[in-house]
Amino acid sequence: MEISEKAVKALVEYALAHCHYNCPAERKAENCIMLVEMAKKLNLPPPPCVEEMGGFDREIFEQKVKELEKKYGKPIGEILKGFEREGTKTLEEEIDRIEGSFAVEVLSVLNTLEQQK
């Protein structure tokens, strides 16, 4: 079955709408990476998170991890386990938990994709 570029573009636009209404509550790192790449290739605007985060590449997510490690004074794995174990107490901690978890997931997916090349 051949899929036209028009159909792919419509599907990507549909997925971008999902981003606008459901992100960050419902996001999967692998899908986000694919969506960002497909939007680029189809000359569509990127998902809103790209602008919010200042980009969507390895360096952005490594920097996010470093910021959180500096802020909490421990490795990201310990930070996230602490949030999981004790919960978050403030909105800022909840944002850090969401962003930290996503950064770790994206870096993991990027590592896997690079190994597959």
Q: Per the structure block, which two tokens stand in for 91?
A: 């909105």
CA distance 64 to 76: 10
Highest mean pLDDT among 11-15, 64-68, 110-114: 64-68
| Helix (H), strand (E) at residue 87 | none
Nearest alpha-carbon partner for 78 in 69, 70, 87? 69
Please name the helix (run of DSSP H) or strand (run of DSSP E) that holds residue 95, with its range, or none. helix 91-116
| Residue pLDDT, tens place only, 17-68 | 888 888 877 788 898 898 899 899 989 888 888 888 888 899 999 999 999 9
Tokens 């709408």 appear where?
17
CB burial string 106-116: b at 16+ within 10 A, e below: bbebbeeeeee
Handedness of CA 110, 115, 116, 117 (dihedral sign): positive
What's the confidence (pLDDT) of residue 106?
94
Cis peptide before 45 (omega within 30 of 0): no
pLDDT given at position 51: 84
Mean pLDDT of the chain: 91
CA–CA gap between residue 103 and residue 98 (Å, rounded) = 9
